[in-house]
Chains A and B, each alone.
Chain A
Amino acid sequence: MAEISLKQVVKNYGRTPVVHGIDLEIADNEFVVLVGPSGCGKSTTLRMIAGLEDISDGEIRIRGRLVNDLPPRKRNISMVFQNYALYPHMSVRDNLGFGLKIAGQSKKVVAERVDEAAGILGLSELLDRLPAELSGGQRQRVAMGRAIVRHPDAFLFDEPLSNLDAKLRGQMRAEIKKLHQKVASTIVYVTHDQIEAMTLADRIVVMRDGHIDQVGTPMEVFNHPANTFVAAFIGSPPMNQLPATLDDGRLRLGDGTAIALPTRLRERVRAGQKLILGVRPDDISPEGHGLLEEGEHDTIDLEVDIAEPLGMESLIYSRLAGQEVLAKLYGPRLLSPGERLTCRVALTRAHLFDADTGRNLEAD
């Protein structure tokens, strides 16, 4: 398998830059997920690695070899497209074997590898059908099978699950994870679904407007978001972000509510700095109903607007300093709108961001 390296890679369409010089090192056998909102340049980046788009500037190496000017066929990579891109006039068998046939493999090798891939993906019964005669999930598996039969250096996936319904998506997500364990391989996977990113990735690359905002393991990205954008993008429901200022060693919100400044952040803030306090809903809970009750905390009063029972927990919608705030209640208990709750805010897991740059004060 192979490592992939991007150095200062730039893509311009005409005069419009869409990818602004990104750097990324992908290790051998690593599962890397590119995640970000629509139009941020994920597909473009992937297609540059595949060789389907020219690189305007910078370097891409696969297995140490500079591939800037190599056509896709010489890069030995496989790609799974968002709408599968199966060959409509070929049976499933021919779709799977096409790449091998083109590579000049003998009929016997082609048949063996096709059978092997069909076995892994549960396609053995469907080999003689045409793509038009398959369901969405089956087509998706054919597209994956077509990628794995070739034993490529790396796999590229461009939102392979976005056309499936929620249940199938969950199933296929597990399949892809299993596949990565079965067929050791380098995978670059594009999605705008943060749950897919969290569950699949060895490392997540969060992109925005053609830049990389943060690279890290799912837990790093979740626990230490580099800026407000990453904080809002990763995690569901998203992190509460409350504008605050430093006042007499405490954080003061717009409506005057005061919250203690987490001890570990004391050295990081400057007097008069405009800040954003970031707290996940899981870390604001009524007393006795929290996830993490030890450690440094402070309390605030919240009035319940709406409560959504989710079974093991309830999501509480409330307002604080003129904006919506989400909190969570663990351990079942009935809540009624208008009820006032004293909530604990877990300061050990709260973040402070600079309001002007959006950067996490703890990011280096």
Chain B
Amino acid sequence: MFRAIRTRQTTLAPLVLLLPAFTVMLFVVAMPLAFSFYTSLTPYRLTRPESIEIYIGARNYIRLWDNAAFWAAFWRTILFLAIALNVELLLGLGIALLINKLTWGQRTLRTIMMFPMMFSPILVGFQFKFIFNDNIGIVNNALQSLGLIDRAIPWLVDAQLAMFSIIVAEVWMSTSIFAILLLAGLLAMPRDPIEAARVDGCNSWQVFRHIPLPFLMPFIFIAMTIRSLDVARAYDIVHVMTGGGPAGRTELLWTLIARVGYNNARMGEANAMAYVSTLLSIAFTVFFFRKLMAARRYMGGAE
């Protein structure tokens, strides 16, 4: 009998201890998720609360299929993601390699490098909106003073240039994430294999290509995973700098979703869009995570 109590205790105790966590998960994650998914199956409008009770099945999703504005934003988001991540990776890698070479002042520089991450994206947006302003912005001012251009360039008005400006702001704010993660990788890297490779006949580029680069891959994938989630929900900077304009040419998924959901009050449709874009995020994350797991094998990690 004594034993029976013990076994019951040992099977129950973990469940009891996990209960608070489960409860929190249920209320904070699972229920809102289920609710928002349900609303994406209704023609729910914020202005007509009773519309939440009308079940229309997958009609919101089917309509998305030929919603040109949605797909434009979808592909633009992917392009934005691809450009921003690659530029950030290259710049971050370059900065990390340079800082790693320093024997003096490395700590100070590492701290300074974090500065862009300390600002709210909204403020960064405002700052760059000012920098790229065609009348009073410092970019045009500088270019004109140097005599490189004679007319103001409409940075935030021209569609292509506006996209470019947003990417610059995004890159400025987030390159340091790459730089710091990659620098951590470089600092953790053993020096000996590099020397072995030099003796084995490698020139500088071959050394980098065969030794530090593969070693850094896991760190690159970690940074990519984090950043792909970040950029896929980019909203603040775009909203502040261009508001998705001109004429929707810088509209990304989340600015579009916010517009449909809050300005047009069509919450059902917005939630359907949000689900599709969440799938996009998940796809990116899974992709990089797979790569990360593969790369971690030789670092003595997960087998």
Contact = CB atoms under 8 A, between A and B. Distances in A.
A50 B214 contact: no
B161 interface: no
B201 A87 contact: no
A103 to B, nearest CB: 5
Interface stretch (A73-81, A180-188, A237-245): A73-81
Contacts of A51: 198-199
Nearest to B206: A102
Contacts, number: 70
Contacts of A150: 200-201
A103 B297 CA distance: 28
Interface residues of A, number: 26
Nearest to B297: A130
A98 B215 contact: no
B39 to A, nearest CB: 48
A195 interface: no
Instruction: State which size class the interface on B falls in.
Output: 20 to 34
A89 interface: yes
A71 B299 CA distance: 29
A73 B190 contact: no
A102 to B, nearest CB: 5
B195 A81 contact: yes
Residue among A77, A86, A102 facing the most chain B CB atoms (10 A cut-off):
A102
A103 B190 CA distance: 24
A73 B192 contact: no
Interface in A71-112: 71-73, 77-79, 81, 83-90, 98-99, 102-103
Given A50-B199, A73-B203, A132-B300, A98 B192 contact: no
Interface in B67-88: none
B298 A79 contact: no
A176 interface: no
Contact of A79 (B193, B196, B300): B196
Nearest to A143: B196
Interface in B40-72: none
Nearest to B204: A71
10 contacts: A52-B195, A73-B202, A78-B200, A79-B196, A81-B196, A83-B192, A86-B196, A90-B298, A99-B200, A102-B201
Interface of A: 50-52, 71-73, 77-79, 81, 83-90, 98-99, 102-103, 130, 132, 146, 150
